[in-house]
Amino acid sequence: MKKSPNNGSKEPRIIPRAKHNVTRNEFSKSALKVLYRLNKAGYQAFLVGGCVRDAMLELHPKDFDVATDATPEEVKALFGNCRLIGRRFRLAHVRFGREIIEVATFRAAAIHDHDDHHSDDEGRILRDNVYGSIDEDVWRRDFTCNALYYNIADFSIWDYTGGFEHIREKRIVLIGDPEMRMREDPVRMLRAIRFAAKLGFEIDEHVIKSIDHGAHLLTNVPAARLFDEFLKLFQSGSAERTFDLLRDHGLFREMFPATDQELADDPEFLSFTRAALQNTDRRVREGKSVTPMFLLGVFLWQPIKKLAAIRRAEEKMSESQSLALAAYEVVAQQQRRISIPKRFTVPMREMLSLQPRFEVKRGKRAIKLLDHRRFRAAYDFMLLQSEVGQADKETAQFWTDVQTQSAAERADSFQLGQPTGQKKRRPRRRRRKKPAQDS
C-alpha cells in the first residue's frame, strides 16, 4: 500500500487556504452561520466529512456536518432553533427553515467504567457519548476521505490521516484496523461500497479483505437501519455500480437473500434488474423523482412470481390474487433483513398484482385499469419488462397509445362500441294488457 503524507499522525497536517481548492462558496449560508456563531462564542468550529470531501472534488455538497468542542447543551444554549436528538450518538440539530445543520461534539475513546459507551458481543457500538478533543475525534471516523476538517477560523483544512492525498488518489481507506472497525459498525462495509460507487474511487485492499471476511456481520444490524442504508445505496445516482460491488463482495446476498439466489439462477431476471437500476440512475441524473417501492418490486419480482405459481397450483385463484398473496409472504420474509415501511410495501404489492391485467385489452374492466391509483407504476414496471423482452411489446404499445387517446378513440380501442361514461339506454318494455274477464 502506498504511504501518504502524515498517514496516522497524532498531529494534523494543516493545509492553508492557499494550498487547497475548497471555498466558502461551496457551503450553505446556514452552515456558515453556525460555524461563525460557535467561533465567536469561543468554541472550535469545523465542517467535517463528506461536505469537505465533495467540495474538494467540486461535487457541490448538499449536507453539512459541523464538529465542535461545545457540548450539545452548550450548542442548544447558543441557538434558539436547535433541538437535541439521539441516544446512540447525542447530536444537536440547528434548523433553518427546511435545512438542518447537524452539530456533533468531538468524541473520544471510552476508557472508564462510567463512560457513556456500550457495545454488543460482536463489538458493534450501541451507544457512544464520550466527549473529547479534535485530536481524539478524528480516530472515531470511518474513512480517511471523510476525516478532513475545514477550520472556519482561518479557512485551513486539518488532515490527521492522509485523507487529503487519498482523495487525490481516489482511494477509499479505512482509519484504524479494518477488521475491528467493521465489527464496531458493520454498516461501514456498505458505506465503503457507496462511496466507491458514487465517487468512482477504488477500495483499499485491506478494506476489501475485511468486507469479504465480515459480510455476515450485516445480520447484526437493525433491519430499520438497513432500510435507511438501502435508500442511500440505490437512490443516489449510482445504483447499478453499487449493485455490482455489493454482489462482488457478498453484501447483496446478506440484504436480499431470495433475490440473490434468483439472480444467480436466471440471466433474464438479472437483465431486467440491471435495466431497472439503469433507469433509476437516469431518473436521478434528470432530476426526476424515484421511489424505493419500484426498485424493491423489481428485486422481489422473481421470488414472488415463483411463489405465486406454487400458490395457484395449491388453490384455485386468479393470477392477480396469487401474486398479491405471494407478495405478502415474500415481503414478510424480506422484513427480517430490511425493515420496509408499510407505505412502500402496500403500493408495491398492488403494482405487482396488476401485471396480469395488462393482458386484458377488451371490455369495461380493461379500461378501468387506467383509473387505478397504481396504474402509472404498474405500467412503468410492465414497460420495463417489455424493453428486455419479458413482456409483449405489442401489449406495451397498446397501453402506451390508449393513455393519449380521446374518449371515443379509447372506446374503440377497448371495443366498447361507444365512449366511456355514456350509459346505454335500455328499450322500455311494454306492459301486456290483461285480457278482459267475463263478468
Residues taking part in catalysis: 63, 65, 142
Question: CA–CA separation, 76 vs 93, rounded Å?
Answer: 9
CA–CA gap between residue 307 and residue 319 (Å, rounded): 11
Q: What is the largest CA-CA distance in the chain?
A: 125
Are 267 and 310 in contact, with CB atoms under 8 Å apart? no
Instruction: Judge contact between 273 and 244, C-beta under 8 A.
Output: no
H/E stretch holding 302 reads helix 292-314
Give, as one character, the DSSP assignment of residue 274. Answer: H
Triad 226, 260, 285: Cα angle to 5°: 65
Asked if 215 and 224 touch (Cβ cutoff 8 Å), the reply is no
Q: Which of 147, 195, 138, 140 is nearest to 171 (CA)?
A: 195
Q: How far apart are alpha carbons 369 and 376 in whole angstroms?
A: 10
DSSP assignment of 205-249: HHHHHHHHHHGGGGGGS-HHHHHHHHHHHHSSS-HHHHHHHHHHT
User: Could you please report the per-residue DSSP string of 371-406?
Assistant: GSTTHHHHHHHHHHHHHTTSS-HHHHHHHHHHTTS-
* DSSP at 143: B
Smallest Cα–Cα separation from 296: which of 247, 258, 241, 265? 258
User: Residue 364, SS3?
Assistant: helix
Those residues whose C-beta lies under 8 Å from the C-beta of residue 158, and which sit 6 or more positions away, are 12, 13, 14, 15, 46, 134, 148, 149, 151
In the block, which residue shows the cell 471516523? 141
Contact present, 60 and 40 (Cβ < 8 Å) = no
Query: C-alpha cell of 2?
Result: 502506498
Tallying the residues shown for the chain, one arrives at: 439
Rounded Cα gap, residues 26 and 62, in angstroms: 9
Q: How far is CA 81 from CA 35, 97, 353, in A?
A: 15, 10, 46
